[in-house]
Amino acid sequence: MPVTIETIREAQERISPYSLRTPCLRLNSLDEFLGCQVYVKAECMQITGAFKLRGALNKLLSLPREQLQGGVVAASSGNHGRAVAYGAKLLGASAAIVMPRTAPGIKIDGIRSLGAEVVLCDVSQRFRVAEELCRERNAAMVPPFNDPAVMAGQGTAGIELVEQCPPLDMVVVPVSGGSLLGGVSAAVKALSPETRVFGAEPEALPRYSASLSAGGPVTVERHATVADALASDTPGSLCFPLVQKHADGVVPVDDAFTLRGMKLLLLEGKLLAEPSSCIGIGAVLQGRLPVSPGMKVCFLISGGNVGLDQLDLLK
Amino acid sequence: MPVTIETIREAQERISPYSLRTPCLRLNSLDEFLGCQVYVKAECMQITGAFKLRGALNKLLSLPREQLQGGVVAASSGNHGRAVAYGAKLLGASAAIVMPRTAPGIKIDGIRSLGAEVVLCDVSQRFRVAEELCRERNAAMVPPFNDPAVMAGQGTAGIELVEQCPPLDMVVVPVSGGSLLGGVSAAVKALSPETRVFGAEPEALPRYSASLSAGGPVTVERHATVADALASDTPGSLCFPLVQKHADGVVPVDDAFTLRGMKLLLLEGKLLAEPSSCIGIGAVLQGRLPVSPGMKVCFLISGGNVGLDQLDLLK
């Protein structure tokens, strides 16, 4: 099933009773720092603290009810897991979330507080461990990306930001596996073809920059990044063609600029977002995106699940 | 000149080209913590980071141009000073801001970065020092409160929040001298008489609780409070009657609850605000306000000028 504006609209209808239409804010205070007119789509204010709720809910609500009886399983760096835990609770299903040992404590706690089981493992093993659990328990898998229902769900943020903002010159989206960028770029290009849509990814894990150059999905060497929610080493095989078709490019961003973006968003914009969410602002600070003073640019702030201890990174 | 909905509307017309209509946000994530439907008027996103710009601009724009030639002077715990510095720069006047030595560094820096002179003194001496400076320089004084133009300016936030929110059951406003509460309650009661308007003040400086009980302005003993922007020990003589007439009450709040409110607003609401701005949320957390689950309550988040070092208070 391809991801199109129609499947994204269907997703919107399916999830809207259970998710928020998050605000789109004009942050004038950031204009002079970024050299453009700054808008943010505040998915950090989404229920469960991240856009991931959109895709997880669309997937869960698309599953036949009997498939939920064995519970659901998800592999996640944190935000998808919390979204799945929330959706499972809503539907009365049990949930097990497989997370990297390196996930921030606040993300692990957030998932446990929703009644889900947390299984910790090495970051590279999380998909294998999740698949085993699924088989053992006869549970339904809710993939974090690379699933048409998940991708269409994430795309609903794209419909909203086009409706909420004045005509935009550019939208900037954090990238990991590529569901968010794939879904949002498909939605934005259908509704506002003249708006350019860019992805931003950690320079330490340039899976999309490398794959777009190579013309097909490439796996990059795994390196640590402060953008803990952008942990994929490979584009999703279903996400990649969507990104390739609709997005105008993906730029790599140094962690230092991502953190500078987070500090700027917090102290000048007054919004708390996790490092991964600020990578688009970091891309502009690093001079990686073609912005100019008259341009209206919307940054998708993907999540806000960050602990006070992590704010020490900004000092 | 009395402060009425008409003078507040005139202020709105005067200042709107130079100030922001800040967003009013529905923060669903705070509902379960506060036991009501939570809205915030995000004056932390105002230019200069606080509502104070409204009153300062209305005053400055009301002065005859020739009065600006000797420059302007203001006594301030920080936010009013930054607003006056901004307005003076806009109008091409010089500005001197008299601040308590105890003001947070971020507030002092913010004022200096706008080109104003900062004069530090003991908190209890700031009005005397400012008056002397005014005389010496033949400068115009821009009072932080207790001035009809300043009070009408602050009231413009009240017009906006009534227009932006659905019909509200309650509005909660931080109180120091009382310009904001006076102006906002005058505006809200004129436009939405059934909405209750409460003030919240530090338990360490209960000048309004004491004065409302006494039936007239009372000076309280000076004690330290984490709410550094709420430093007055006496209600403004012009503010008091306005508050007495329009507000439904003022409640004292313990600093510990104000900080808990700040932490909640940051980590769950994803908004950065200074301690003083979170005192209304603290009032609800302390059980000082009559809220209930169906009620729509708007908290006026008065400012966001807070440094990273101050976030250590929340750990």
The DSSP element (H or E) to which A122 belongs, if any, is none
Give B257→chain A minimum CA distance, Å. Answer: 18
C-alpha distance from residue A146 to each of A142, A153, B35 (Å): 10, 12, 39
**Among residues B25, B52, B104, B30, which one has the least CA distance to residue B262?**
B30
Domain match, A254 and A308 both: yes
* The pLDDT of residue B77: 82
Query: Which residue segment(s) compose the domain that B158 sits in?
Result: 5-51+147-314
Domain match, B72 and B112 both: yes
Domain match, A247 and A133 both: no
Q: Chain A contact for B313, CB < 8 A?
A: no
B249 pLDDT higher than 80: yes
* Region class of B115: left (phi > 0), else alpha (psi between -120 and 50), else beta: left
With beta carbons under 8 A apart, name residues in chain A contacting B49: 29, 270
Q: Which residues have CB under 8 Å from A74's CB, separation 6+?
A: A56, A80, A81, A84, A95, A96, A97, A98, A130, A141, A142, A143, A144
Mean pLDDT, rounded, for B142-171:
97
Render A62-104 in DSSP notation, one character per residue: HS-GGGGTT-EEEE-SSHHHHHHHHHHHHHT--EEEEEETTS-
Looking at B119, B141, B163, the residue that finishes a domain is: B141
ipTM value: 0.94
With beta carbons under 8 A apart, name residues in chain B contacting A29: 45, 47, 49
User: What mean pLDDT value characterizes chain B?
Assistant: 96
Residue of B nearest to A46 (CA): B29
Domain match, A217 and A296 both: yes
Strand partners, B25: B40
Domain match, A163 and A270 both: yes
**What pLDDT digit, counting tens, does each position of A81-107 carry?**
999 999 999 999 999 999 999 988 888
The DSSP element (H or E) to which A271 belongs, if any, is none
The side-by-side arrangement of strands in the sheet containing A95-100 is A117-121, A95-100, A72-75, A140-141
Domain match, A60 and A118 both: yes
Q: Chain B contact for A65, CB < 8 A?
A: no
Angle at B146 between CA B142 and CA B150, to 5 degrees: 55
- Does the beta-carbon distance from B25 to A45 stay under 8 Å? yes
Which of A42, A270, A273 has the CB atom closest to B304's CB atom? Answer: A270
User: What whole-number percentage of chain B has pLDDT above 90?
Assistant: 92
At A280, is the pLDDT very low, low, confident or very high (cuts 50, 70, 90)? very high
Which of A267, A304, A308 has the CB atom closest to B314's CB atom? Answer: A308
With beta carbons under 8 A apart, name residues in chain B contacting A273: 270
Domain match, A113 and A231 both: no
Q: Which residues have CB under 8 Å from B273's CB, separation 6+?
A: A270, B44, B262, B265, B266, B301, B302, B303, B304, B306
**Among residues A134, A131, A127, which one has the least CA distance to residue A232?**
A127
Residue whose entry in the numeric block shows the structure tokens 């009425």: B4
B140 pLDDT higher than 80: yes
In this structure, what CATH number is given to the domain that contains residue A90? 3.40.50.1100
Domain match, A44 and A179 both: yes
CA gap B304, B315 in Å, rounded: 18
**Is the sign of the CA dihedral A113, A115, A116, A121 positive or negative?**
positive
- Does the beta-carbon distance from B44 to A20 stay under 8 Å? no
**What pLDDT digit, counting tens, does each position of A1-45 carry?**
799 999 999 999 999 999 999 999 999 999 999 999 999 999 999
Q: Chain A contact for B304, CB < 8 A?
A: yes
Strand partners, B251: B200
Q: Chain B contact for A44, CB < 8 A?
A: yes
pTM: 0.95
Domain match, A40 and A182 both: yes
Domain match, B235 and B306 both: yes
Q: Around Cβ B213, how many Cβ atoms within 10 Å?
A: 9
State how many domains chain A has: 2
The DSSP element (H or E) to which A180 belongs, if any, is helix A179-191
- Does the beta-carbon distance from A28 to B42 stay under 8 Å? no
A133 token code pair: 């659990």
With beta carbons under 8 A apart, name residues in chain A contacting B109: none
Q: Is B52 exposed, middle or buried (0-12, 13-18, 19+ CB in 10 A)?
A: buried
With beta carbons under 8 A apart, name residues in chain A contacting B270: 42, 44-45, 49, 271-273, 304
Mean pLDDT, rounded, for B301-308:
94
Q: Chain A contact for B235, CB < 8 A?
A: no
With beta carbons under 8 A apart, name residues in chain B contacting A28: 20, 47
CA gap A152, A158 in Å, rounded: 10
Domain match, B190 and B304 both: yes
CA gap A243, B57 in Å, rounded: 48
User: What beta strand segments (E) does chain A contain?
Assistant: 24-26, 37-42, 72-75, 95-100, 117-121, 140-141, 170-174, 196-202, 249-253, 296-301
Report phi then psi at B36, rounded to 5.
Answer: -160, 175
Looking at A141, A176, A207, the residue that finishes a domain is: A141
Residue of A nearest to B19 (CA): A28
User: What is the number of H-type helices and E-type strands within chain A?
Assistant: 12, 10
* CB contact at 8 A, B226 and B258: yes
Q: Which residues have CB under 8 Å from B24's CB, separation 6+?
A: B39, B40, B41, B42, B160, B161, B164, B165, B298
Angle at which helix A5-15 crosses helix A52-62, to 10 degrees, equals 90
Give A271→chain B minimum CA distance, Å. Answer: 5
* Region class of B122: left (phi > 0), else alpha (psi between -120 and 50), else beta: beta
* The pLDDT of residue B285: 98
* The pLDDT of residue B11: 98
Q: Is A5 exposed, middle or buried (0-12, 13-18, 19+ CB in 10 A)?
A: middle
A49 pLDDT higher than 90: yes
Render A130-147 in DSSP notation, one character per residue: HHHHHHHHTPEE--SSS-
Residue of B nearest to A48 (CA): B29
**What pLDDT digit, counting tens, does each position of A136-164 carry?**
999 999 999 999 999 999 999 999 999 99
- Does the beta-carbon distance from A314 to B308 stay under 8 Å? yes
Residue of B nearest to A313 (CA): B308
For chains A and B, count residue pairs whose Cβ atoms are closer than 8 Å. 58
Residues of A serving a catalytic function are: 52, 302
Looking at B111, B141, B171, the residue that finishes a domain is: B141
User: What whole-number percentage of chain A has pLDDT above 90?
Assistant: 92
**Is the sign of the CA dihedral A242, A248, A254, A256 positive or negative?**
negative
Report phi then psi at B173, rounded to 5.
Answer: -130, 130
Residue of B nearest to A273 (CA): B270
**What pLDDT digit, counting tens, does each position of B46-85 carry?**
999 999 999 999 999 999 989 999 999 999 988 999 999 9
Domain match, A125 and A137 both: yes
CA gap B272, B173 in Å, rounded: 17
- Does the beta-carbon distance from B28 to A20 stay under 8 Å? yes
Mean pLDDT, rounded, for A160-172:
98
User: What mean pLDDT value characterizes chain A?
Assistant: 96
